[in-house]
Amino acid sequence: MTDATTTARVDAWLWAVRVYKTRSAATTACRAGHVRVNGERAKAAQPVRPGDELRVRIQGFDRILVVKKTIAKRVGAALVAESVDDRTPPPPSKESMPFVPVRDRGAGRPTKRDRREIEKLRGRELD
């Protein structure tokens, strides 16, 4: 049997370090396959230990977290900073992101002329 002070459930740890607002949200993310521990899909009850790397998909982006200290209860922000090492790369700048044209809701399908302008913006001009 493992020592309770060196391991914690992955869903409880994610909730304790404020990655998810509720523990049930963390459990749901584990069931959906959005949480990986050391590269493997994690079940909610899987134990995490100091040194484990977690990849958590939130809103389409991966956060890379390394467990420094295991905690099972929600704690203050100062203790959270001691418990997790956030290795998530910074988001790309807005200049490097491609511009995606947005159509008004209910505007209907684009006309042939609109489609040609969209393709021209994307850099895929038709010959």
List, for residues 89-118, the tens digit of each pLDDT value: 988 787 777 777 677 887 888 889 988 988
Tell me the average pLDDT of the chain: 87
Tell which residue, 82, 99, 74, 64, has the closest CA to residue 15: 74
Taking 50 as the threshold, does the pLDDT of residue 2 lie above it?
no
Which helix (H) or strand (E) covers residue 66, if one does? strand 61-67
Looking at per-residue pLDDT, the higher value among 83 and 106 belongs to 83
Tokens of 27: 């459990």
Tokens of 37: 């521990």
pLDDT band, very low/low/confident/very high, at 1 (cuts 50, 70, 90): very low
Burial class of residue 19 (count of CB atoms within 10 Å of its CB; 0-12, 13-18, 19+): buried
Q: How far is CA 71 from the centre of its chain?
A: 20
What is the tens place of the pLDDT at every residue in 24-41?
999 999 999 999 999 999
- Its pTM stands at 0.70
3-class secondary structure, 23: helix
Taken as a whole, the chain contains a residue count of 127
**First vs last Cα of the chain: how many Å apart?**
68
